Chain A
């Protein structure tokens, strides 16, 4: 089974400053056909998860362009260029290389 490790687990950020979350996979999430199977989700307090990024770097419609995803192989990053109050919540990476999906443990972003 694919295991995803996120760091840091807690991320205090000053408003307007950038933020970065890392997700490391136990195996490559790019298959032999070049398909890329890493997504990022945001979960605001009391809300269901929301898709932010799919296939490593593709922003889902409606997601602000301050969110970006990058990475390859087993190392991936979610970046927020300038954190806003509405970005508070928990962020999860998820692998889709297998039919058995799995999530990282989550990173809690808070405002300093």
Chain B
């Protein structure tokens, strides 16, 4: 069974940094685009970043460009989100998801982890 499990979220002060991890099981991430989506407390979903299977393409929402970096380690079958210069408004549950980007499914997210919580506060 394909699964995703995030970790690494915790309390951090504004201006700090944090690295989130997402371990995949049941499938090989090198065959898929992967993505991070976040959800601020009581708010809706916000797409954060996408990375292609070979890591050659990366896309970010404007609010995190220059501060967040998405990456992957195929040997560990893992996805990462390195976050710098964190702001209070980055407080959210961060979900990793598998992106289906092909003729058959279009462009959607078919598998989600349970999420990890990042709190940015002084």
- Residues of B whose CB lies within 8 Å of any CB of A are 35, 37, 44-47, 50, 57, 59-61, 95, 100-101, 103, 105-110, 112-115
Contacts and interface: CB of A to CB of B under 8 A. Distances in A.
A106 B45 contact: yes
A79 B44 CA distance: 20
A81 interface: no
B106 A103 contact: no
With a 10 A CB-CB cut-off, give which of A35, A43, A60, A99 has the most chain B CB atoms: A99
Contact of A54 (B37, B45, B108): B108
Contact of A48 (B35, B57, B95): B95
The binding surface of chain B is classed by DSSP as strand
Contacts of B115: 48
A39 B106 contact: yes
B61 A100 contact: yes
Of B60, B103, B108, which is in contact with the most chain A CB atoms at under 10 Å from its CB? B108
B106 A101 contact: no
Nearest to A48: B112
A92 interface: yes
A111 interface: no
A80 interface: no
A51 B113 contact: no
Given A48-B95, A49-B95, A103 B107 contact: no
B103 to A, nearest CB: 7
A110 to B, nearest CB: 15
Interface in A77-107: 90, 92, 94, 96-97, 99-106
Contacts of A90: 44
Given A48-B114, A100-B59, A101-B50, A55 B44 contact: no
A107 B63 CA distance: 24
A41 interface: yes
